[in-house]
């Protein structure tokens, strides 16, 4: 199982990567493996705002449907449209081409409260 060192992780298995003024979000290798083959993703529209802990979408796999959560106060600044036609990118490359959304953090929102790679590794064992 891959757990990149440069990311932050939420308890619901979302990962976040700071990319300048925005934060890219997806689900972890652990989560995609547990879900199995992903066949559909429902993502929000650009401009939608969320509070920390809000559900922002769903991931449907051959096993189940799971909610995906926004771990910080933020507004959606980009959506990975490639997932509409190829949701399997999440299984093939969860930390690269399988990203979900990019967020502009709200005032005072930081990634400091999320797990680093070592803490997430321990959490998933």
CATH of the domain at 48: 2.40.50.100
Structural domain includes residue 17: yes
Q: Which residue range is the domain that position 13 belongs to?
A: 8-108
Return the structure tokens found at 102: 């990019």
Structural domain includes residue 85: yes
Structural domain includes residue 120: no
Q: Confirm whether pTM is higher than 0.85.
A: yes
Q: In the chain, how many domains are there?
A: 1
Convert the pLDDT of each residue in 3-24 to its tens digit: 999 999 999 999 999 988 999 9
Structural domain includes residue 124: no
Structural domain includes residue 14: yes
- Spatial neighbors of 10 by CB under 8 A, at least 6 apart, are 16, 69, 71, 114, 115
Where does the pLDDT of residue 109 fall: very low under 50, low under 70, confident under 90, or very high at 90 and above? Answer: confident
Structural domain includes residue 119: no
Percent of the chain with pLDDT over 70: 100
Q: Name the nearest CA neighbour of 104 among 28, 50, 67.
A: 50
CB 10 within 8 A of CB 31: no
Q: Name the nearest CA neighbour of 94 among 19, 7, 27.
A: 27
């Amino acid at each position: 199982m891959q757990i990149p060192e440069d990311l932050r992780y939420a308890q619901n298995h979302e990962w976040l990567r700071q990319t300048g003024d925005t934060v890219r979000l997806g689900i972890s290798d652990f989560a995609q493996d547990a879900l199995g083959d992903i066949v559909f993703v429902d993502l929000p529209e650009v401009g939608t705002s969320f509070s920390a802990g809000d559900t922002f979408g769903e991931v449907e796999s051959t096993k189940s449907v799971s909610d995906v959560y926004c771990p910080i106060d933020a507004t959606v600044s980009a959506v990975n449209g490639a997932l509409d036609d190829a949701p399997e990118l999440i299984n093939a490359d969860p930390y690269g081409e399988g990203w979900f959304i990019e967020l502009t953090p709200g005032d005072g929102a930081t990634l400091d409260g999320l797990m680093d790679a070592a803490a997430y590794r321990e959490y998933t064992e």
